[in-house]
Amino acid sequence: MSQSVTAAPKPAAQRKGQQTRAAIVAAALEHAARNGLEGITIGALAERMQMSKSGVFAHFGSREELQIAVLKAYEARFIETILKPALGQPRGLPRLVAILERWLERTVVEAAMGCIWVSGASEYDDRPGAVRDELVAKIEGWQRELGRAIGQAIQVGHLRPDTDIDDIVFGIYGVILVLHHDARLMRSPDALPRARRALGRFLRQYATVGAAPADAALARLARTDRRGVAPAASAIPDPSGA
């Protein structure tokens, strides 16, 4: 019996397929930022992309697969805009504070639309499945990155040796969630400066005495203009990519 042989896709066709997939994910990411992960539908994206539903399905076999791709894209953008720029700072509190500054600024930017991780927690806290598992994995991954930066601050002597890393991560997350609540729901103009001051006071409890780089980093965290943004802070891109 003769067997038909399917030719391998040409490089140009592969590139076009990858570009189309990336464009669909970008559109879904923007949609999810405004409407939540549960708001993503194949039909809405097909209409937005001027594609057929079957065309979208050709790149994503299911709505769940698309939602997971959105979570991965959000994580990649989060790391690119928050963690990577901070790696240029010296290990210890200078690097940790740089991470926190950019995270604070991004949280305020996202307050205009919504944070996928925050909204996703409400959508999937009691809904088991692959999307919830992926969401939890992404948040846990970010918490590990925070823990790594905190651990380095302990190693270089900026934080006390008896500092509990998990306690610091917990406290930081608490401030970020309150910032999101007050900036998005309460529309508080003081949310960002209050969050910066709260983190500065919180970290100072664990800081070692006399570590000049640590003192300078914490002073920077508390020093803001009237909008709560640190002097010379880098702009954070719109999370929607717009």
Q: Is the pLDDT of residue 229 over 70?
A: no
| Residue given tokens 């409407």 in the structure block | 35
Phi and psi based region of residue 228 (left: phi greater than 0; alpha: psi -120 to 50; beta: remaining) = left
Angle, nearest 10°, between helix axes 116-124 and 11-35? Answer: 70
Domain residue ranges of the chain, discontinuous segments joined by +: 71-222
Judge whether residue 227 has pLDDT over 70: no
Give the architecture-level CATH label for domain 71-222: Orthogonal Bundle (1.10)
Highest mean pLDDT among 1-5, 8-12, 47-51, 165-169: 165-169
How much is the pTM? 0.86
- At residue 132, the pLDDT reads 98
Task: Provide DSSP, 96-136.
Answer: HHHHHHHHHHHHHHHHTT--HHHHHHHHHTT--SHHHHHHH
Which tens digits make up the pLDDT trace of 74-111?
999 999 999 999 999 999 999 999 999 999 999 999 98
* Least confident window among 8-22, 124-138, 161-175: 8-22
